[in-house]
Structure 1
Amino acid sequence: MSWPVVRFSPSSDLFARLIYLGQHQWNNSGSKQNFRSLARQFSKQLGIDVYCVDLRNHGASPHSTTMTNLAMAADLLRFLKSISSNISNGDISLLGHSMGGKAAMTLALHPDTPSNLLRNLIVEDISPIKGRLSKEFEGYARAMRRIMDMQCTDRKQADEVLQEIEPDVSVRQFLLTNVSASSTPGAPLTFRVPPEILADSIGELGDFPYTPDDDVKFTKPTLIIRGKNSNYVKDSALPIIGKFFPHYEMVTLNTGHWGALVLS
């Protein structure tokens, strides 16, 4: 597949690269487009190259009916190998939020991932456990289908549908960045990825391909960032996190699940 990537570079002589998966949601809110400002800040303040990557069914990447964490981790590994000739071994930091974090953890733990590929791992507000996606994401999927079925013609109409399931205006605005408006006046809005593909993937994206009984570990430094007002990284998950990532540290921010949006 081709790799729709946004790259931010402060100089030509850099010591590290950050691969940013952003909010890699099954509802396509994980487009790299949504995180340009954050990536630009990372690049400027840390003095590193930052690559924002759209995985399958996100942003400008190709569509696929297969949308598992293993498939997306394999996509990411191919991308990293495609740029590795310009990067020294161990100079890649991988950051993923939400379902992007699950894809990042899957890659870090996968036996096909070279042990010297990653410098460290940063995961924002998601745990390496199996479980169905939360009701809010199921609500987003239903709202997307309603917007399509109602043939909404502008973002104001679409926002009124989203208000029924999401009270936070900043989250609604974020979700609406994934709507494509036609150049034809009065034409219905569309989404960059067919809602039926995303709805069919709900069960798979709530999964995680490894269990604590599997002999897989990522022994490089790992930072887990969780939101104080979010339930995605519960205390009960910490022993499992420690099993997979024995050198992890955790930071709790005074935010909800959408911490990157609130703090940016």
Structure 2
Amino acid sequence: MNDKTDRTDQAIDSGRREFIGVAAGVGAAMVAPGVILHAVAATPRSQPVSSDVRWGLLVDTAKCADGCSACVEACNEENGLNLQTKPERESDLKWDAQKSVWIRKVKLQDNQTGRITNLPMMCQHCEHPPCVDVCPTGASFKRADGIVMVDRHLCIGCRYCMMACPYKARSFIHDELQGQLTAVPRGKGCVESCNLCVHRRDYGEASTACVDACAAEGHHAIVFGDLKDPNSPINQKLRELPSRQIREDLELNTGVRYSGV
């Protein structure tokens, strides 16, 4: 091999490295027909999840408006649930019963006074989650920061967790998905539920989709924050408002609290 060949090879290698560097730095690159890779502007988590924090929600039911579904719609859009499509030949009744729902609006009625309370119901992110206890594969787990999640790679679809959850907070994906978001991977045969917008947590964002949507509607009924930080917004509100857990008798120490119930 002569010097001219060596110089040519070096030039080709240099050009390849330059091209790779440029391609890695662009915001979006077309890698195949119809496929686009998007770069994320925010910086992802660089440190392990810590038990120094415990994420939770406080819902002020006095501010939760009857007929408002802003939190539900925002959750659906944030997590790609709005991309669900009803399979052909499936009845509306069956579809309504089986489609994934991470937040649902419910009404509670006091049997003595008849008073009706509106509230959003989602995974309660228990300190002692029954779904984790019954899962045979470890797919249901609780992170160090208190967020209860499902590992879709370990989930075998047995749905024991759905039976164990006293809040009916989990959904099962029955059909092939037509669309999903990169930040929120989902899959047929897996169980899923509210994860407190964990993708936001891991990119250092300070809120959740439901909280943002409720605030945008002017209700400000949902507060998110660190239950272990005495100065966090959620703890400031908890000092102002009497609150309780749904099904306190189960002693699950939920991460979601409600006032006015």
The two structures have a TM-score, normalised by structure 1, of 0.26
Q: Which has the higher helix share?
A: 1
The two structures have a TM-score, normalised by structure 2, of 0.26
- Higher RCO (CA-CA < 8 Å; seq separation 6+): 2
